[in-house]
Amino acid sequence: MVRISKLTDYAVVIMAYIAGVSISNPEYILQAREIAQDTHLALPTVSKLLKTLTKHKFLNSLRGVKGGYQLTIAPEQVSIVDLIQALEGPLAITECNLGHQHCLSETQCAIRTPWLHINQIITNTLSAVKLSDLVNIQGIEDGFNTDLNNNPNTSFRAKKDSIPSIPIKVILTDPSPSWRTA
């Protein structure tokens, strides 16, 4: 199963929340406690992720009594793959996707090339989904009220039409591609 970690998932939730607030009020500075409360995540987890997101330059950390966090990049410029790679490293569905010499069977592997193509399709798809696509403007205007248990009444969820539909078409130009074995 291909799955992002729970911390990466929470980081996306946090970034979507901050993006939503930023869109409606660009000058607003969010404090960790406020983010934790509104996203229903534990404060230590939120603090840890805010530090990581700041280290990777997604957020600006402002110190002091009125300090907090703000986005450093516009939500429409941050892709989901950017966030995943910042928290988990390179996106690789198999070892061979990490580059040469990561797999002992690389030189004789008959399916290395298809895996490379599949990985690229996944990367391209996640690159096309921007942080701004995850923000439900109406939910932010109504007051952010998320329920991480997929409550259908939650105001934090992507609009069905906001995430781009990316057609994936695989075309084999050669009926016997070089990556197939005889």
Per-residue pLDDT tens, the chain, 182 aa: give them: 578 899 999 999 999 999 999 988 888 999 999 999 999 999 999 999 999 999 999 999 999 888 999 999 999 999 999 999 999 988 888 777 776 666 767 677 888 788 888 889 999 999 999 999 888 644 444 444 444 344 333 333 334 344 444 444 444 344 444 444 43
Does residue 37 fall inside a structural domain? yes
Please report the pLDDT score of residue 100 as a whole number.
Answer: 66
Please report the pLDDT score of residue 8 as a whole number.
Answer: 95
Does residue 153 fall inside a structural domain? no
Does residue 179 fall inside a structural domain? no
Contact (CB, 8 A) for 86 and 104: no
Does residue 165 fall inside a structural domain? no
Measured N-to-C along each axis, helices 43-55 and 32-39 cross at an angle, to the nearest 10 degrees, of 120
Q: At residue 151, what is the residue type?
A: N
Does residue 116 fall inside a structural domain? no
Does residue 106 fall inside a structural domain? no
* Segments of the chain assigned E as strands: 59-62, 68-71
Q: CATH number, domain at 72?
A: 1.10.10.10
Query: With the CA atoms of 74, 77, 81 and 86 taken in that order, what torsion angle do they form, in degrees rounded to the nearest 10?
Result: -50
Does residue 157 fall inside a structural domain? no
Please name which of 31, 40, 16, 21 lies closest in space to residue 146, comparing C-alpha atoms: 40
Contact (CB, 8 A) for 66 and 79: no
Can you say whether residue 63 is alpha, beta or left, with left for phi > 0 and alpha for psi between -120 and 50 degrees?
beta
Please report the pLDDT score of residue 136 as a whole number.
Answer: 60
DSSP state of 110: S
Domain with 40 in it:
6-92+130-142
HSE-up (13 A, CA, CB side) for residue 164: 15
Total structural domains within the chain: 1
Does residue 120 fall inside a structural domain? no
